Amino acid sequence: MKPGWERPQAGALFVVSGASGSGKTTLLKRLFERVAGLQFSVSATTRSIRPGETDGVEYQFVDVPAFQRLQDQGELLEFAEVYGRYYGTPRKPVERALGLGLSVVLDIDVQGARQVRRSHPGNVSIFILPPGVEAIRERLVARGTDSPEVIARRVREAGEQLSACGEYDYLVMNDDLDTATRVIEGIFLAELSRTARRTHWVRAFSS
């Protein structure tokens, strides 16, 4: 259930990362159902659209030349090559939302998170952990969208992503979906309840 409180005066920039197969997408979907006032940043990508996806909802699907134009013009807050495809976060929508006091969620990989950490040092970073690397393999196989060769590569690269988990502010172990949901929801609600984001309450009770 979404909390019945008003939006904080100052929003937060949340960075959420996790290896492919960690269950990150499912957790974020649940999070948006439970926490009010969040805005999801839609990344641009050169990968092909998957069944059930809608352009402009899960991603902005663009070709490589269009992505390179965004990159060359400085229109990307961060960008990275993942599994041979390019991903990036359009800068203007994020900075516009933060300027209005909204909270923005970035679903990006380790490379992108490092870039955002440099440009927006006040961000809140969260890494989604699987129970183990074998769990990632099982989830990728169950997804049924990749060949064995692609799965093997993704599992290998997932290990590289997991090795960077110590760079993040929070870790969420997704070995039980309901528990992980409560944990990430708690992180978001706590961050949005910080005194610096609720100055109107301070003024109301200090006068």
**Spans of the chain, pLDDT less than 50:** 1, 3-4
The pairing of strands 13-18 and 103-107 is parallel
Confirm whether 113 is domain-assigned: yes
From CA 173, how far away is CA 12, in angstroms rounded?
22
pLDDT of residue 3: 47
Enclosing domain of residue 22: 13-194
Confirm whether 173 is domain-assigned: yes
Distances (CA, A) of 35 to 97, 103, 150, 191, 192: 17, 11, 35, 12, 10
Q: By C-alpha distance, which of 109, 106, 81 is closest to 91?
A: 106
Helix axes 177-192, 24-34, angle to 10 degrees: 50
Confirm whether 4 is domain-assigned: no
Confirm whether 201 is domain-assigned: no
CB 119 within 8 A of CB 8: no
Helix axes 133-143, 148-162, angle to 10 degrees: 140
Q: By C-alpha distance, which of 94, 92, 105 is closest to 192?
A: 105
Confirm whether 115 is domain-assigned: yes
Residue at token pair 């926490």: 35
pLDDT of residue 177: 95
Confirm whether 205 is domain-assigned: no
Confirm whether 114 is domain-assigned: yes
Whole-model pTM: value is 0.84
CB proximity list for 169: less than 8 A, separation 6 or greater: 124, 125, 126
Report residue 28: phi and psi, to 5°: -65, -35
Total of domains in the chain:
1
From CA 12, how far away is CA 148, in angstroms rounded?
39
Which phi-psi region, left, alpha or beta, contains residue 139 (left: φ > 0; alpha: ψ -120 to 50)? Answer: alpha
Q: By C-alpha distance, which of 178, 24, 13 is closest to 89?
A: 13
CB proximity list for 203: less than 8 A, separation 6 or greater: none
Confirm whether 202 is domain-assigned: no
The CATH number of whichever domain residue 98 belongs to comes to 3.40.50.300
CB proximity list for 189: less than 8 A, separation 6 or greater: 3, 35
